[in-house]
Amino acid sequence: MATTKYIGTGEVISADFKAVKWIGKTKGGQDVIIELENAINMGNIEWTMAEKNDVVPNVEFQACYNNTDEASTSTVEPWSITIDSATTAGASEIILGAGTFYIDTTAIGLTRGGGSFNVEREYREINADGDRGAVKGRVVMESSRAKLSFNALTMLTRLTDIYTSIAASV
């Protein structure tokens, strides 16, 4: 019987950064695509085992900026949402919860309980004496973290794709 053993490598390598996306539909049947660039799962391997239950870990990828130049002033965030141009206002723009998650170009397999997309932003107000609150032109976005997560029902054959700092040895 052939087996595969997975081990923790203790290091993050460039192959740990993936293109991750979710492809779904609107109620009107148009495509919706959410994509993260240079995404990495910095979460722990956390599997809950219980009798009469399947193991369904939550896997969360975070998009990473690609600033290789310390003087870079690019503020383009490493995520995108693409919608079909035929989408119209009203019921046809409702996003359905069903969709498929991909790592690179391969569907990750079965999910249970779907997933989520979240962009966490931190803003800073530049305040001056006498300001009563935020002032137009003096609000700065300090950080942005785009995250795409899913609940993976099937994942054993994709461990090195899903988790960071892990390798297969035969």
Ramachandran quadrant class, 113 (left: phi over 0; alpha: psi -120 to 50; beta: rest): left
Mean pLDDT, rounded, of the chain:
89
Average pLDDT of the residues in 1-12? 90
Higher pLDDT, 139 or 96: 139
Whole-structure pTM value: 0.85
Most distant CA pair in the chain: distance in Å?
Answer: 75
Q: How confident is the model at residue 155 (pLDDT cuts 50, 70, 90)?
A: confident
pLDDT tens sequence across 19-37:
999 999 998 888 999 999 9
pLDDT tens sequence across 63-121:
998 876 666 677 789 999 999 888 888 888 888 888 899 999 988 878 888 899 999 99
In terms of Cβ atoms closer than 10 Å to its own Cβ (0-12, 13-18, 19+), residue 145 is: middle
